[in-house]
Amino acid sequence: MAEDAENKEIKEAADRLKNYGWKNITDSDRKTIMEYAEEYMEFLDMAKTEREAVEVARDLAVSCGFRDIDTVERLQPGDKVFGINREKSVYLAVIGREPLTEGFQAVGAHIDAPRLDLKQNPLYEDSGLALLKTHYYGGIKKYQWTTIPLALHGVVVLTDGTTVRVNIGEDPEDPVFLVTDLLPHLSAKQNVRKVADGVPAEKLNLMAGSIPLADADSENVKKNILAILKEKYGMEEEDFRSAEIEAVPAMKARSLGLDSSMVAAYGQDDRVCAFPALTALLRLEDAPRTSLCILTDKEEIGSVGNTGMESRNFELFLIKLLEKSGITSPYALQKMLSASRALSADVTAAYDPTYPEVMEKNNAAYMGKGISIKKYTGARGKSGASDANAEYVAYVRGIFEKEGVAYQSSELGKVDEGGGGTIAYILANRGMDVVDCGVPVHSMHSPYESASKYDIYAAFRAYKAFLGSM
Ligand code: MN
Ligand code: MN
């Protein structure tokens, strides 16, 4: 290409990027963005826990022609399959035209979110009140979880193998649960403690009842709660031992701002990437390479366990893809992984003008400017970073620029201010090319996070373009 023409092309690409954002979109784009956000908000309300997210993903996938991989004998290009890992994570694939050993394109997000889990012996009575003990899950600022309406979601598994689903607090007719806090009048000592110690973890107890059972001698209120649990769920107190019950904010997702340009909701880390990742795969028109969507559990506590990204159950899904495509070489799995590319679809911190002091303006992600590529994560001298190779970042931004997807490049806050990680390093350790690429959010890990509808739709377009690329 002649130098002049080349310069012109570079300038045009730069101008396009500068012009991204709300002010440059057409009315019809705006309508599309708003409609997609409505779908997303519905998803948020249906899928507040990892188990619920898996169920919703399975239903959507089945309605789009995906089949459980274990029911499929042989895979052909164009086939759509999913594998569910213990009801808490799900892997979905569209088989491409290229051989699987040439690698796949994957977008991976997590579907667990910070919350309060009930302990295994949660219920007790004190001073005429029934309470439930909790153990918080993930990185929370504990004071944020007091005096907000909480709903209980989860399962109680009985020894006969029956799984009883629990969901109390979402229906407007339902009661809610609550962690109390001190009144300001008696907070003199609490007020001078460090914010981190303001509400100790063992004070995150849920108010659960106050009516005593008429004919019991002691612990009357607790006995009444147990009687209600028996009637409603057929469970005994001991059954809490094999229960997974999560207290999550009972608030619904809402549009935020007078212009309704943002979404405020619980659990947007990382459902704001999980929903675009899922819908990008479900709506993929063409898969030259095999395309995957990974929705994983336990990211908030280190991606551990057999449902987290570290789990070898992910490899098992890949082995099934290979075997059912007729590839049985012992090296096929590693060959495929090393030739594969992924986007670690996780949120990043959006620049918050109320707290500019933790951000470095030139390398912050801004709300309403599109999806953000984070070349590296980590903290203190990139320690523990998953650092994508420049060649790979060029490949990814090339896709976005070609498709006209709004994107920015950022890192999480000022150097030495803090830091964070995602599932990226786990995929990278397996040999894949991977870069973090997600939606900027405000108030991450709080009970009510916010994100821009513009960026949410940009994520959908970005993931779809990536999945459909060679
Ligand atoms: Mn996350
Ligand atoms: Mn997180």
- The answer to whether residues 341 and 392 touch, using CB atoms and an 8 Å cutoff, is yes
What is the pLDDT, as a whole number, of residue 208?
Answer: 97
- Rounded CA-CA distance 273/337 in Å is 22
Q: How far, in Å, from the CA of 308 to the mean position of ligand 1?
A: 13
Element (DSSP H or E) covering residue 341: strand 341-344
Q: How far, in Å, from the CA of 98 to the mean position of ligand 1?
A: 31
Judged by its nearest atom, the ligand closest to the C-alpha of residue 374 is 1
Q: How far, in Å, from the CA of 273 to the mean position of ligand 1?
A: 9
470 residues of the chain, pLDDT tens digit each: 566 776 776 566 556 556 679 988 999 999 999 999 999 999 999 999 999 999 999 999 999 999 999 999 999 999 999 999 999 999 999 999 999 999 999 999 999 999 999 999 999 999 999 999 999 999 999 999 999 999 999 999 999 999 999 999 999 999 999 999 999 999 999 999 999 999 999 999 999 999 998 877 778 999 999 999 999 999 999 999 999 999 999 999 999 999 999 999 999 999 999 999 999 999 999 999 999 999 999 999 999 999 999 999 999 999 999 999 999 998 999 999 999 999 999 999 999 999 999 999 999 999 999 999 999 988 888 888 889 999 999 999 999 999 999 999 999 889 988 888 899 999 999 999 999 999 999 999 999 999 999 999 999 999 999 999 99
What is the pLDDT, as a whole number, of residue 8?
Answer: 72
- Rounded CA-CA distance 423/342 in Å is 11
- Distance separating the N- and C-terminal Cα atoms of the chain: 23
Q: How far, in Å, from the CA of 113 to the mean position of ligand 2?
A: 7
Q: Ligand 2 (ion): which residues have CB within 5 A?
A: 269
Angle of CA points 376, 382, 383, to nearest 5°: 125
Judged by its nearest atom, the ligand closest to the C-alpha of residue 444 is 2
Judged by its nearest atom, the ligand closest to the C-alpha of residue 110 is 1
Structure tokens at 187: 């907070």
For residue 111, give the 3-state DSSP assignment: coil
Judged by its nearest atom, the ligand closest to the C-alpha of residue 273 is 1
Among 257, 263, 271, 254, residue whose Cα is nearest residue 49:
271
- The answer to whether residues 10 and 1 touch, using CB atoms and an 8 Å cutoff, is no
Q: How far, in Å, from the CA of 320 to the mean position of ligand 1?
A: 28
Half-sphere exposure for 265 (CA within 13 Å, toward CB): 27
Among 80, 53, 83, residue whose Cα is nearest residue 64:
80
Q: How far, in Å, from the CA of 465 to the mean position of ligand 1?
A: 22
Q: How far, in Å, from the CA of 419 to the mean position of ligand 2?
A: 11
Q: How far, in Å, from the CA of 338 to the mean position of ligand 2?
A: 27
Q: How far, in Å, from the CA of 423 to the mean position of ligand 2?
A: 11
Judged by its nearest atom, the ligand closest to the C-alpha of residue 140 is 2
DSSP 326-340: T---TTHHHHHHHT-
Q: Does the model's pTM come out above 0.85?
A: yes
Phi, psi of 170 (to 5 degrees): -95, -40
Q: Strand locations in 127-242, DSSP E?
A: 129-137, 150-157, 163-168, 178-179, 206-209
| Residue 117 bridge partners (DSSP) | 135, 246
Q: How far, in Å, from the CA of 444 to the mean position of ligand 2?
A: 7
- Rounded CA-CA distance 181/445 in Å is 20
Q: How far, in Å, from the CA of 271 to the mean position of ligand 1?
A: 9
In terms of Cβ atoms closer than 10 Å to its own Cβ (0-12, 13-18, 19+), residue 155 is: middle
